[in-house]
Amino acid sequence: MATLFCPKCGKDTDVFYENICKECFTGNRTLIECPDVLYSRICPTCGSVFKRGRWSAREDEEKTIKECVTDSLKIDREAHNLKLELTPKQLDYSRYRVHIDASAEIRGAHME
């Protein structure tokens, strides 16, 4: 019985994605890109957010932070069934650090 191997790395495999193994296929792709630093204008009095050239009212600051981060993401065009989990952590009164967990499928290969 013939064994199949990845022509890029030489690993034995049964499943190929674009003629290479899953590790080689997912290794050179980026599921999402996000800027290291993101600035948003939030009114300290009412919590409104300046977005797309106008102010919009928001009640929950954490929801606003998640929305601003989600709007700034660049997502691979071939990603399907994308699931995002954003976890904001307040560092001080005006700064947050947001951790993003993402998973999706690209051409049948599951990526995280």
pLDDT tens, 60-110? 778 888 888 888 899 988 888 999 999 999 888 778 899 999 999 988 888
Q: Point out which residues pair with 90 in neighbouring strands.
A: 96
Count Cα neighbours of 37 within 13 Å in the Cβ-side half-sphere: 2
| Residue 2 clears pLDDT 70, i.e. is over it | no
pLDDT tens, 12-71? 888 888 888 888 888 878 889 999 998 888 787 877 888 778 888 766 778 888 888 888
CA distance 60 to 42: 11
